[in-house]
Chains A and B, each alone.
Chain A
Amino acid sequence: MSAPPKPPPLTTVESTETSDSGAQTLTLSVGPQHSGSGHMRLIVEVDGDIIVNVAPDPGYVHRGIEKIIELRNIIKSIPVIERPSIIDASNLNHAWVRSIEEIQGVEVPRRGQYLRTLLNEMNRIMSHLYWLSIYGVFLGHTTMFMWPLGDRELFIDLAEKLTGARITYSYLVPGGVRRDLPPGFAEEAVKRTEYFEKRLKEYDRIFFNNPLFTSRAKGIGVLSREKAIELGCTGPTLRGSGVDADLRKDEPYAAYPELDFEISTRPDGDSFSRAMVHMDEMRESCKMIRQIVKKIPSGPIRRKAPIVLPRGVAYGRVESARGECSFYLIGEGGDKPYRARYITGSYRNMAAIPAVLLGNRLADMPTAWWSIDYWPVEADR
């Protein structure tokens, strides 16, 4: 009896080329469905299961926000600016009002600065928790998906008390903030951050000290210090490669000069380092929130600012959850900006995606790729 004929090879391949080594490679299209790529596509070329070439293909959620804000007055732009990263809305909002205030020459009252910092740090935790829950999905760890999303509600409720909205607050306006602290907020914030710190220890036990995670993350997706600087990386991606750069320390703004906190860095530059930087930052943010509600000075929360952008140029930047978010703002005297260039942390870290994936196995892609905390909507704008 002769063997049955071999079935023809499956044609799930976009193109086949011959690599330098003479081996055939496959070009795969990962995404743009949000199952393991976010709303973006990665064109990955593999030799066997080793990634030999990566080209990010963003733009699936591009909205032309830079054009939209050229056509609106500076206050109406605030909700638009929050859209690219609604899980980190107040940090993006802060970069916008900072650059406006710089051109207007408006000084924000100290209580307003503290309230801004308070919401920024709550947002940092919320954003990192969202990242962590998706990381859990990527690695097939269902508990790590459920827990962070559940604990995120602790801070969403707090933010709702403070601002009236759960996710997109439009809380920061030129000159200050919209609302003052509600009664009982300080006690509630202390209670919730203390509870959350206990939860972080449980995260460590179930996920970060778990060989399921460590064996897949340590030494995977290495981004060297030199490469991270050269590519212009920022935020936890840069700090995961051993660079202690953080705008909250390097160019202190709002209430940060008066707060006591540490910048977390890890020297290895692998996926595990970047993940641990996120964890450390959540702990530091909890400490900061408690300091803020204790130290917050009394006084006005807002100063009058004109709805006019005088002639001038500003480069306003803040440290958002995913790194530096900046506006290059040009005013020409009207209520609209002449040009508002919007550069976000994810956009900057897009350059690191090929660098962390090249040379790894295809199966390591989720671990390496999501450790950058690349948020496609924030990058596309």
Chain B
Amino acid sequence: MSLSHEREDGLIQKLKENFPSDIKETNVIRRARLEVTVAPERIKDVAIFLRDKLGFDHPNGVSAVDYNRENRFEIVYHISSIRIKEMRDLVLDLKESVPRNAPKVGSLVSVWSGVENYERESFEMFGIIFDGHPRLEKLFLTDNWDGPPPLRKDIRFPTD
């Protein structure tokens, strides 16, 4: 396995050229795994660029992470490419951060329709509101669940 990250660096380069002020942070975790943090208000434009110009047409999932000590939520879109065969091993984590007391972001369902269920899960488990989501309702939790979003870090279980 080669240690050079030419392909990954090339992708980051292209993103930085097109969105010089919106790409906040980039990181190559290892070969074929990279993270790109963008400003929440421009994530949709970056996503459309990734889909249309760089071939990331396949949503793999969405994760939400609660950094309660830093008072923020992080939303991570894991995306990959089917169209470009040489890039199928690559997963790009498109990240955005929102303050924990006002967790509201734009939905990316209009970019990748497959993220609909994952965004719904992040909504019910973390209380993050996705603006523009076609059906922002509970997915796994029961309809009469009225407790706090259960995957947040401050929710303790009796067995903790």
Roughly how many angstroms separate A314 CA and B58 CA in the complex, as a whole number? 19
* Chain A CB within 8 A of B23 CB: no
- Per DSSP, are chain A's interface residues mostly helix, strand or loop, or mixed? mixed
* Chain A CB within 8 A of B88 CB: yes
* Chain B CB within 8 A of A202 CB: no
**Given A59-B140, A230-B113, A313-B29, A67–B157 Cβ distance below 8 Å?**
yes
| Structural contact, B58 and A232, CB atoms closer than 8 A | yes
Closest to B64 in A: A341
| Structural contact, B117 and A350, CB atoms closer than 8 A | yes
Our count of residue pairs bridging A and B at CB distance below 8 angstroms stands at: 93
| Structural contact, A326 and B113, CB atoms closer than 8 A | no
Instruction: Among A313, A324, A350, point to the contact of B60 (Cβ < 8 A).
Output: A324
Residues of B within 8 A of A347 (CB): 61, 117
Fill in one digit per residue for B27-45: 1 if any A CB lies within 8 Å of its CB, else 0: 0011011010000000000
Roughly how many angstroms separate A348 CA and B139 CA in the complex, as a whole number? 14
* Chain A CB within 8 A of B21 CB: no
Roughly how many angstroms separate A63 CA and B30 CA in the complex, as a whole number? 32
Instruction: Among A58, A67, A343, point to the contact of B139 (Cβ < 8 A).
Output: A58
| Structural contact, A102 and B114, CB atoms closer than 8 A | no
Q: How far is the CB of B12 from chain A (nearest CB, A)?
A: 16
* Chain B CB within 8 A of A166 CB: no
Tally of chain B residues near chain A (CB < 8 A): 40
Residues of B within 8 A of A317 (CB): 60, 91
Tally of chain A residues near chain B (CB < 8 A): 35
| Structural contact, B63 and A229, CB atoms closer than 8 A | no
- Per DSSP, are chain B's interface residues mostly helix, strand or loop, or mixed? mixed
| Structural contact, B65 and A330, CB atoms closer than 8 A | yes
* Chain B CB within 8 A of A373 CB: no
Residues of A within 8 A of B59 (CB): 232
20 other A-B residue contacts (CB within 8 Å) besides A71-B159, A341-B63, A348-B114: A58-B139, A58-B140, A59-B141, A102-B30, A229-B82, A231-B114, A313-B29, A314-B33, A315-B93, A326-B61, A326-B78, A328-B61, A328-B93, A339-B63, A339-B66, A341-B61, A343-B60, A343-B78, A351-B113, A351-B117
A interface with B by C-beta (< 8 Å):
58-59, 62, 64, 66-67, 71, 102, 229-233, 243, 245, 250-251, 312-315, 317, 324, 326, 328, 330, 338-339, 341, 343, 347-348, 350-351, 380
B interface with A by C-beta (< 8 Å):
29-30, 32-33, 35, 57-61, 63, 65-66, 76, 78, 82-83, 88-89, 91, 93, 112-118, 125, 138-142, 150-151, 155, 157, 159-160
